[in-house]
Amino acid sequence: MLVGALFYLSGQSRAVAIVDTGTPAEDLAGSQPGPAFTGLWRHTANSSEAPGLMMITHKGFSHRGYMRPPTENKPPSVRIGVVVTCDSLGSAPTTSDLRDEFLSFLRRPPVWNLIKSLTYIGDDLAWRSYASNGRLNNEAVLTSSEDQEEAPVASAMMILNEHGMPKYGHDPRVAELVLHIEPRGTDGQSAPPADFQAWHDSLVRALAVPGAFAHFLSQEASVATYDHPPAQLGVQFDAYRSISELIDPGDLRPVTGSWSSSSFLGYMIAEPAGKQATEAVIDLLICVCDHALHLQNGYEARLAKLQHGLG
């Protein structure tokens, strides 16, 4: 579990109660079965539009390498959370098949491309199943061996629902995917902060993950997906002192009297009236500059050039 001050765009943290009404997802969704819409995106600073994504900060991964005290040696990390509305699992696939398909999903684009853009991946690293609760909750770690003590370069968690099984507080209408990455260099140490262009490109890759996850759900997990409530993606930057350990603002400096936040959580909502990923990500990065890095004037125009690779 991540430890440290978290910047909530709503201004305060709130517990979200999930009530299992027992209503099938299709009745709640009000739409015909089909791939969840993930073509266009809208950034929002309103956490009430994505209450499930607020909880990605509290998802505790099981690997013992994460069981470390919150010291100055805490490495910076980024989390990507995805929520897709769908039915509960039926009689298939089996637990073993689902685990195998999940590992295969993580090894393919766009997940693999996203992680490669955020951290160095040596030839000895591979995705391995780590902790499981049947078909409900499955984790995977990107490590060199199954018994490694060091925290993984990346971890993944998939949370599904199954007819007749307890929900453990999980929203019965959705499937969740959470990716946790600690950016590292070739020496295995924390990577230096990346510039805005690199983060723009990585976050565009991240916005390809919900569509791939929706396809995984319909094809490998054999559940119908829905476009309402819409697919959502959350991004958390987290560091011990400042997210400038992750994001290099270049020659831009904070406004006098302001200090960078140690954590930031932003939200993206899929909707037909939204923007292309390359443009929507700029809105998120502007929010990071406004509310986490607190940068001086001039960054808006600079960020606007990123979608053309001119940053």
Average pLDDT (5-31) is 38
Average pLDDT over residues 127-136: 94
- Average pLDDT on 248-261 reads 93
> Is 153's pLDDT higher than 60?
yes
* Angle in degrees, 0-180, between the axes of helices 95-107 and 209-219, rounded to the nearest 10: 150
For residue 6, pLDDT beyond 60: no
% of the chain with per-residue pLDDT over 90: 70
Q: What is the pLDDT of residue 69?
A: 67
Going by pLDDT thresholds of 50, 70 and 90, the confidence category of residue 137 is very high
Residues 6+ apart with CB under 8 A from 131: 62, 63, 137, 138, 139
Bridge partner list, 133: 137
Q: In Å, what is the CA distance from 76 to each residue of 73, 117, 156, 219?
A: 9, 15, 17, 35
Domain spans, the chain? 32-56+73-250+262-275
CA–CA dist 287, 281 (Å, integer): 10
Q: What is the pLDDT of residue 150?
A: 84
> Is the model's pLDDT at 12 over the cut of 60?
no
Mean pLDDT of 159-188: 88
**Is residue 33 very low, low, confident or very high in pLDDT (cuts 50, 70, 90)?**
low
Query: Distance from CA of residue 176 to its chain's centroid?
Result: 10
Mean pLDDT, to the nearest integer, of 145-160? 88
Under a CB-based contact definition with an 8 Å cutoff, are residues 103 and 158 in contact? no
Whole-angstrom distance, CA of residue 7 vs CA of residue 11: 8
More confident residue, 267 or 24: 267
Residue type, 73: N
Residue 272: phi and psi, rounded to 5, are: -60, -25
Distance CA 12, CA 47 (A): 10
Q: How far is it, in rounded angstroms, from Cα 282 to Cα 286?
A: 6
